[in-house]
Amino acid sequence: MNEGNGDWLRVRGIGRERFAGYLGDYLATLGYSVRKDDLAASNESRLTGRLERPNPAVPTAAASLEFRFYPTSGGAAVVWEAPLEMPSDERGRMDRLVREISSHLERAISTESHAAAKVIRPSGSRLPWQPPPANGGAATDGGAG
C-alpha cells in the first residue's frame, strides 16, 4: 500500500501493533473505550474508539472513531476510517483534536524510542472531511505538527 490509499499518518521504526497501541492508549485517556482487532489474513489492525466519558474537547461527531493500520517498509501507516464527514460547526474542534492526537503520537513515540522512531505525515495527506488542496499541494490542516 502507499500514500495514495488515504494514509493519515505513518511511522518509521515501529510496527503496526505498537503504533495502534499508542493511539489506543491516548484515546483511552480522552475517555474512549478502545477495541483493537488484528486481521491476520490482511496483515492489518483495526482500532475503534467509542466515547464513554464526556469530554468537552471531543466534538459530538467524534463520539465514534475508527482507524486501520497496516505495515509498511520499515514501519506502519494508519488510515482514518471514521468519521468520514464533519458538520461545519464542529470542524474547528475536530481539527484541534486531530492536531492534539498527532502531536501526542509524535511525542510519545519519539520519547519512548529515544528518537529512533518517527511519526510523519505523507505528502497529500488529508482527513476525509477536508477538501483537497486547491493548488494540488499537501494539506496542512489537522495533521501532525
Q: Are 119 and 103 in contact (CB under 8 A)?
A: no
Classify residue 102: in a domain, yes or no.
yes
**pTM to 2 decimal places:** 0.82
Classify residue 142: in a domain, yes or no.
no
| pLDDT computed for residue 73 by the predictor | 87
Q: Count structural domains, the chain.
A: 1
pLDDT exceeds cutoff 50 at 141: no
The CATH number linked to 112 is 3.30.530
Classify residue 138: in a domain, yes or no.
no
Range of the domain at 99: 3-120
Residue 46 Cα distances to 30, 35, 40, 42, 105, angstroms: 19, 8, 11, 11, 17
Classify residue 100: in a domain, yes or no.
yes
Classify residue 125: in a domain, yes or no.
no
Classify residue 54: in a domain, yes or no.
yes
Classify residue 144: in a domain, yes or no.
no
| pLDDT computed for residue 145 by the predictor | 41
CB proximity list for 98: less than 8 A, separation 6 or greater: 127, 142, 143
- Which residues of the chain form beta strands (DSSP E)? 7-12, 32-39, 44-51, 64-72, 75-82, 118-120
Here the cell at position 68 is 486501520
pLDDT digits (tens, 9 = 90+) for 40-68: 777 899 999 999 998 888 999 999 999 99
